[in-house]
Amino acid sequence: MSTVQVETPGGSYPIHIAAGRLDALAESMPDDATAIALVSNPTVYAQYGQRASQALAKTGKRVVYIELPDGEAYKDWQTLNLIFDGMLQNRLDRKAVLVALGGGVIGDMGGFAAASYMRGIRFIQAPTTLLAQVDSSVGGKTGINHPLGKNMIGAFYQPVAVEIDTDVLATLPAREIAAGLAEVIKYGLIIDAGFFAWCEEHVDALRALDPQAITYAIQRSCELKAYVVSQDERESGLRAILNFGHTFGHAIESGLGYGEWLHGEAVGCGMVQAAELSALTSGLSAESVERVRALAAAIGCPVRPPDLGTDRWIELMQVDKKTEGGRLRFVLIPEIGRATFESVPPEALRRVLDKAALA
Ligand code: NAD
Ligand code: MG
C-alpha cells in the first residue's frame, strides 16, 4: 500500500492507495464514531456498495446508506438536502462519520454535507473515478453548483482520510480514464518534469490500468497536489497553477455545452493551447509544445480545439474567474515542470485562438 500524508492548516490526513483498499475501509474509521452515513449513487453502489457496506460493518457501528441520483445535474441544493434528510431521519449525531463513495460529484457533495451537518462532522473520501482519485478528493474543496455557476456554493473542508482502491477503475469507461489522466499529466507539466517524462514512457501501461503504473501515477499526483495545497490551502496564490489548461478547457466545456466533452478531455486540449500560448509569451520551446500535444493525444484526449470563433472564445474565457483588471490571466509554463500565472498580450492569445479556427 502507498500512503501520502496531506498537511494543511485545515487538517492532516492520510491518503491510502492500494488494490482492494475498499475492503479495508474500517481501518480509517475513528473509534468514537457513533454511526456511519454511506453516501453514493446507484451506478457506483451497484458495483461496489456491498463491499463498502460489509467493510464498514466490521466496525460494529450502524451504517445508514444514503443514495443520491447520478450525474453532475444533481450536484445541487435539492440533492444535497437528501443527505441531510437521511442523516436527520436516522438521528445521526455530531459524532457520526460520513463516507463519500463515488466520483467527484459524490465527493464534493458528501464533503459539503459533512462540512455543514451540525456545523461539521468528520468524513472519509472513497473516490471511485480516476479524476476523483488524483484530483477532487485531495485538497478539501467541497461544494455544489448553482443555476448561475458551477461550484459556486461550498466550503474548504478536509476529510479525515482518503481511501483509494485502484481496482474500481476497471469498470470506468475509457473516456473517464483519459479525462483523469489529463489531470495526472498536468501535475508533471506544472511542477515535476521528471514525472511528465515518466508518464510519456508509461502511457500504454497507464491506459491499460497496469496496477503498478496506475498506483504510482495516483500516488505521485496526490503528492504533488498535496504539496501545492499545503502551501496554499485557500487558493490565494500558488494553488492557482493547478488550473493549467483550465481557462481554455472551461471555454470548451461551456462553449460546446456542458457534458459534450468531459472536463478532463477539455483540460487535455486546453493544456495544448496553454502550451502554445506559453511558447509565444514565455519561452516554452516548440519541441516541448509538441511533447504536450503528443502525450495529451496518447492518453486519449482530443487535441484539436473546437472552432468556437476567436471572439466567442475570448468572451467565454472572460467568464472564468481569472481576470485581473479586465485582462485575462493564464497559467503558463516557461518550461515543462515549472508554472507561472500572469496576464498575456491580447495579440498572443488571438494567435493561439485563430489556430483553433484553422484546425
Ligand atoms: P462523476 O462523479 O460524475 O463520475 C463520472 C461517472 O462515473 C458517474 O456516472 C459515476 O457514477 C460513474 N462512476 C464513478 N465511479 C465509477 C466506477 N468505478 N465504475 C464505473 N462508473 C463509475 O465525475 P468525476 O469526473 O469523478 O468528477 C467530476 C466532479 O468533480 C465535478 O463536479 C467537478 O466540479 C468536481 N471536481 C472537484 C474538484 C475539487 O477539488 N473538489 C476537483 C476537480 C473536479
Ligand atoms: Mg480540473
d(CA 249, CA 268): 8
pLDDT, tens digit, 9 for 90 and up, residues 264-280: 999 999 999 999 999 99
In this model, does residue 118 exceed pLDDT 90?
Answer: yes
Indicate which residue's Cα is closest to atom 30 of ligand 1. Answer: 104
Nearest to 132 by CA among 5, 253, 15, 282: 15
Q: Contact, 97 vs 121, CB < 8 A?
A: yes
Which residue type is seen at 111? G
Distance from C-alpha of 39 to C-alpha of 118, rounded to nearest angstrom = 17
3-state secondary structure of 227: helix
The yes-or-no verdict on residue 69 having pLDDT over 80 is yes
Calculate mean pLDDT across residues 241-268: 95
Distance from residue 311's CA to the centre of ligand 2 (Å): 24
Using CA positions, which residue lies closest to atom 17 of ligand 1? 172
Q: Which residue has 437521511 as its cell numbers?
A: 86
Contact of 45 with 67, CB cutoff 8 Å: yes
**Quick one: which of 209, 299, 195, 178 has its CA closest to 19?**
209
The whole-angstrom separation of Cα 299 and Cα 76 is 31
Average pLDDT, the chain: 95
User: How far apart (Å, rounded) are the C-alpha atoms in residues 130 and 167?
Assistant: 11
Q: Any idea of the CA torsion for 132, 123, 165, 229, to the nearest 10 degrees?
A: 50
- Measured from CB, residues less than 6 Å from any atom of ligand 1 are 41, 43-44, 47, 70, 72, 75, 102-106, 108, 128-129, 131-132, 135-136, 139, 141, 151, 168, 171-172, 176
Using CA positions, which residue lies closest to atom 4 of ligand 1?
103
CA torsion angle 50 160 244 292 (round to 10): -60
Position 350 scores a pLDDT of 95
Residues 314/254, Cβ–Cβ less than 8 Å: no
- Report d(CA 21, CA 133) in Å as an integer: 13
H/E/C letters for each residue in 128-163?
Answer: CCHHHHHHHCCCCEEEEEECCEEEEEEEECCCCEEE
DSSP conformational letter for 258? T
Q: Which of 21, 75, 122, 263 is catalytic?
A: 263
Question: What's the pLDDT score for residue 324?
Answer: 65
One-letter amino acid of 313: W
What is the percent of the chain where pLDDT is above 70?
Answer: 97
Taking the C-alpha atoms of residue 238 and residue 139, their distance in angstroms, rounded to an integer, is: 13
Query: What are the cell numbers at 185?
Result: 499529466
- For the chain, the first-to-last Cα distance in angstroms comes to 45
pLDDT of residue 319: 77
Find the helix or strand (DSSP H, E) in which 238 lies.
Answer: none
Look at the chain and count its residues.
Answer: 359
Q: Do residues 324 and 299 make contact, with C-beta atoms less than 8 angstroms apart?
A: no
> Which of the listed residues 131, 138, 320 should we mutate to test ligand 1's pocket, taking the one with most ligand atoms within 8 A of CB?
131
Distance separating alpha carbons of residues 182 and 221, to the nearest angstrom: 11
Query: pLDDT tens digits, residue range 121-139?
Result: 999 999 999 999 999 999 9
Q: How many CB atoms lie within 10 A of CB 336?
A: 23
Q: Is 246 a catalytic residue?
A: yes
Q: Between 182 and 358, whose confidence is greater?
A: 182
263 in active site: yes
pLDDT at 47 over 80: yes
Cα angle 90, 92, 94; round to 5: 165
What atom of ligand 1 comes closest to residue 41's alpha carbon? 11
pLDDT of 83 reads: 98
Q: Is 301 in contact with 265 (CB distance < 8 Å)? A: yes
Question: Which pLDDT score, from 0 to 100, does residue 10 have?
Answer: 86
Predicted confidence (pLDDT) per residue in 186-215, tens digit: 999 999 999 999 999 999 999 999 999 999
Give the model's confidence band at 22: pLDDT under 50 very low, under 70 low, under 90 confident, else very high.
Answer: very high
- What is the tens place of the pLDDT at every residue in 295-332? 999 999 999 999 999 999 999 998 765 666 667 899 99
pLDDT band of residue 232 (cuts 50, 70, 90) is confident
Q: Is the pLDDT at 359 greater than 70, yes or no?
A: no
Residue nearest to atom 40 of ligand 1 (CA): 136
Q: How much is the average pLDDT of 159-179?
A: 98
- Confidence grade of residue 357 (pLDDT, cut at 50, 70, 90): confident
Residues 6 or more apart from 195 whose CB is under 8 A from it? Answer: 187, 188, 220, 224
Quick one: how many helices (H) and strands (E) in the chain? 14, 12
